[in-house]
Amino acid sequence: MRPEILYDLFKPITALKGVGPRIGALIERRTGPRLVHLLWHLPSGLVDRRHAPKISNAIAGTVATITVRVDKHHKPPNKRVPYKVLCSDETGTLNLVFFHAHEDYLRKNLPEGETRVVSGQIETFGDAIQMSHPDHMVEEVDIASIMTVEPLYPLTTGLTMRVLTRAISNSLKEVPVLPEWADATYVAKQKWPSWRDAVLAAHAPQALTDLEPSAIARCRLAYDELLSNQIALAIIRKHMRQVKGRPLRGTGALVQRVIKTLPFNLTNGQKAAIDEIREDLCSDVRMLRLLQGDVGSGKTLVALMAMLTAVEAGAQAVLMAPTEILARQHLATITPLAKAAGLQIAILTGRERGKNRTSALDALVKGRAQIAVGTHALFQDEVKYKNLALAVIDEQHRFGVHQRLSLAAKGNAVDTLVMTATPIPRTLMLTAYGDMDTSRLKEKPAGRKPVDTRVLPLERLEQIVDACGRALDAGDKVFWVCPLIEESETLDVAAAEDRQAVLTSRFGDQVGLVHGRMKGAEKDKIMAAFVDGNVNILVATTVIEVGVDVPAATVMVIEHAERFGLAQLHQLRGRIGRGNKLATCLLMYGSPLTETARSRLSIMRETDDGFIIAEKDLELRGAGELLGTRQSGMPELRLADLQTHADLLAAARDDAALLLNKDPDLTSERGQAVRTLLYLFERDAAVRNLRSG
């Protein structure tokens, strides 16, 4: 249960004065639904109002706070001319200028003959000095309240700075003093303020340097976030390991039989990974291993060998993919090999219904099927296994940690192998998975040729269509990827349909379309026709659907490539160039292209190394987007910046390990404080894994 001391911070933002449902919804879209989320919304700029010159010393283009006498209101003859209030001090005159003015309001706030303090940007208009729409107009006694440095926050359409600033400043009033959770010596060494002081300071920047990620208050907050992340991951990991694993000793018989049927040799990386996994399986500590390998590096085969080892030891294994199409693709790859070994495989996705589903469920619970391949349907409640011992999860970052745990709960001490094609940089790897064992497939199978990558504006569509025509004439196949349009599946489907129509008018029924809204069976039919039928151009809306293996595909067209992550582009590109012909990847961008987008796309042209690409992507885009955390429920970092705060991450990891070593159930005084930290950063699930409350 969340500690009482945090209750106020977890109130909905609509509990704040002046925040009703409409404003609340706007703020929520930018920050999140609760007060605590406002705290994480740090200023991106500031306005210094401490400069209080006389009128004649005010400099155009700067912000000034000036004490003036209100001389005369000057109502304009018509609406096109602004309302003016003439003011002065002993050095000169200042005109306050208002467009679409409300006279009553202005007369009330700026009564003729009285003294007022105004603050805003100084402008010149001809010879006159003026200020249009002052940000503040107060009486002289209140001058101190506006002669400050004001934070400026990132906004969203419809949300004004005034409203957001007030909401944040009201939420700051609710910030409690919390017990120190960080290591006291470390805090002292870093000269860090307490958490509360850090929050308040981060929202009260006094100079531009206070806005940098390296500012002391921001470092402290970043550290707290990273510490909560590292402790949460360590707890979950430990929890998984607490349940003793069971040694799975394979005989090697099935593995050898399958290797003999392969028309190629395993790469050294594959051999090493298979050995590492076999060693994990043998031990009585539960395996939690990440198999990292670029697209096409041959992970599926490694996964199969792991599963065969489990089967040799008399157990069952599952392979879970993020989408149905990928699940079926895995099935297609594995089935002939498994058949050679005399095994039965069950498939289970959202689409298996009725008789098919019943018989798959039966085969798994009775143990007739040794291997199951499928989607998240594999870990629904009704699915029971006779003897599940190994779960292989493909493209894990699309699943959440919770799902991984629920799959692990299906069997008795299930070992887990996670496969990912995103070569996750070390820092990101730590925040996403914690300290996980890794096997890496560095080399690609022999005979792969680099893909010729070109970057072109969308205006050259016609040329690209011509290029596709040439590929088709040569008997090749073409992937055509349309981007996901954010938050609108309808629009993105429409865009893909338009594209299909254009291509069909030229190439006829060789053009097929798959998109996220289609029924599974329909998708399968088209995919099958693309793999070895008469569909030669496949238009697809989602990258996920394109994760399939089609050796005849030599061209990959990606529309609005600038909207994709580099890792995604790399993964897509990895889908072609698997045959012996030279392959071409055409990255089409919408103009104008931003500087960042331009450099991202040129990285794609320059390198084929997934690891370099991932590092660059992290540099240019940030962690959340790289891992697609928003869809997956993976913790998103709001305060820490993995580039600037890499050293803090290392410290947080070490501290987390040390702390949990000394106080595994977080019962000491510091342990209790850490629990509060975990709740503060909404890592509730981790706390639930602790032994005592």
By CB under 6 A, name the binding residues for ligand ADP: 264-267, 270, 293, 295-301, 421, 445, 549
Helix (H, G, I), strand (E, B) or coil at 533: coil
Per CB under 5 A, the segment of 65-73, 237-245, 300-308, 310-318 that binds Mg ion is 300-308
Cα radius of gyration rounded to whole Å, the chain: 31
CB of 10 to ligand ADP, least distance (A): 42
CB of 532 to ligand ADP, least distance (A): 14
- From the list 63, 76, 206, 205, the residue with the least C-alpha distance to 136 is 63
CB of 266 to ligand ADP, least distance (A): 5
CB neighbour burial string for 460-484, b if at least 16 within 10 angstroms, e if fewer:
eeeebbebbeebbeeebbbbbbbbb
549 binds, among Mg ion, ligand ADP, none (CB under 5 to 8 A by kind): ligand ADP
- Could you give the CA distance from residue 111 to residue 102 in angstroms, rounded to a whole number? 14
Nearer to ligand ADP, 270 or 500 (CB): 270
Per CB under 5 A, the segment of 40-48, 79-87, 211-219, 299-307 that binds Mg ion is 299-307
Nearer to ligand ADP, 117 or 301 (CB): 301
CB of 423 to ligand ADP, least distance (A): 11
- From the list 480, 554, 544, the residue with the least C-alpha distance to 512 is 480
CB of 291 to ligand ADP, least distance (A): 9
Q: Which amino acid is residue 369, in one-letter code?
A: A
CB of 304 to Mg ion, least distance (A): 11
Helix (H, G, I), strand (E, B) or coil at 640: coil
Nearer to ligand ADP, 31 or 568 (CB): 568
Nearer to ligand ADP, 58 or 613 (CB): 613
* Cβ–Cβ < 8 Å for 529, 472: no
Nearer to ligand ADP, 259 or 494 (CB): 259
CB of 571 to Mg ion, least distance (A): 10
629 binds, among ligand ADP, Mg ion, none (CB under 5 to 8 A by kind): none
50 φ, ψ to 5°? Answer: -80, -15
Strand order in the sheet with 115-121: 123-125, 128-132, 92-98, 83-89, 63-74, 115-121, 136-139
Nearer to ligand ADP, 298 or 411 (CB): 298
217 binds, among ligand ADP, Mg ion, none (CB under 5 to 8 A by kind): none
391 binds, among ligand ADP, Mg ion, none (CB under 5 to 8 A by kind): none
Q: CA 293 → CA 14, 270, 303, 530, distances in Å?
A: 46, 10, 12, 26
- Could you give the CA distance from residue 114 to residue 535 in angstroms, rounded to a whole number? 81
Nearer to ligand ADP, 148 or 333 (CB): 333
Per CB under 5 A, the segment of 153-161, 259-267, 293-301, 534-542 that binds Mg ion is 293-301
Nearer to ligand ADP, 8 or 549 (CB): 549
Per CB under 5 A, the segment of 216-224, 297-305, 345-353, 458-466 that binds Mg ion is 297-305
Which residue's Cβ lies closest to Mg ion?
A: 300
How many other CB atoms sit within 10 Å of the CB of residue 37?
19
Binding mask 308-327 toward Mg ion (x if CB under 5 A, else -) reads: --------------------
Nearer to ligand ADP, 74 or 440 (CB): 440
424 binds, among ligand ADP, Mg ion, none (CB under 5 to 8 A by kind): none
- Could you give the CA distance from residue 174 to residue 667 in angstroms, rounded to a whole number? 27
Q: How many residues bind Mg ion (CB under 5 A)?
A: 1
How many other CB atoms sit within 10 Å of the CB of residue 329?
21
Nearer to ligand ADP, 125 or 264 (CB): 264
Q: DSSP letters along 80-106, please? A: TSPEEEEEEETTEEEEEEESS--HHHH
CB of 370 to ligand ADP, least distance (A): 20
Instruction: State both tokens at 636.
Output: 């998103």
293 binds, among Mg ion, ligand ADP, none (CB under 5 to 8 A by kind): ligand ADP
- Could you give the CA distance from residue 557 to residue 546 in angstroms, rounded to a whole number? 12
295 binds, among Mg ion, ligand ADP, none (CB under 5 to 8 A by kind): ligand ADP
The Cα angle at residue 277 between residues 275 and 282, in degrees rounded to 5: 95
- Could you give the CA distance from residue 132 to residue 104 in angstroms, rounded to a whole number? 18
Nearer to Mg ion, 300 or 500 (CB): 300
- From the list 415, 401, 416, 413, the residue with the least C-alpha distance to 243 is 413
Nearer to ligand ADP, 199 or 318 (CB): 318
CB of 253 to ligand ADP, least distance (A): 21
CB of 391 to ligand ADP, least distance (A): 17
Relative to beta strand 415-420, strand 437-441 is unpaired
445 binds, among ligand ADP, Mg ion, none (CB under 5 to 8 A by kind): ligand ADP
Nearer to Mg ion, 180 or 549 (CB): 549
* Cβ–Cβ < 8 Å for 588, 528: no
- Could you give the CA distance from residue 133 to residue 102 in angstroms, rounded to a whole number? 12
CB of 254 to ligand ADP, least distance (A): 17
CB of 371 to ligand ADP, least distance (A): 16
Residues contacting 256, CB < 8 A, separation 6+: none
Q: CA 47 → CA 39, 135, 206, 312, distances in Å?
A: 19, 11, 9, 69
484 binds, among Mg ion, ligand ADP, none (CB under 5 to 8 A by kind): none
Instruction: State both tokens at 68.
Output: 């003036």
Instruction: State both tokens at 30.
Output: 């930018």
267 binds, among ligand ADP, Mg ion, none (CB under 5 to 8 A by kind): ligand ADP
CB of 551 to ligand ADP, least distance (A): 7
Nearer to Mg ion, 302 or 343 (CB): 302
584 binds, among ligand ADP, Mg ion, none (CB under 5 to 8 A by kind): none
105 binds, among ligand ADP, Mg ion, none (CB under 5 to 8 A by kind): none
- Could you give the CA distance from residue 36 to residue 6 in angstroms, rounded to a whole number? 9
571 binds, among ligand ADP, Mg ion, none (CB under 5 to 8 A by kind): none
What are the residues binding Mg ion (CB under 5 A)?
300
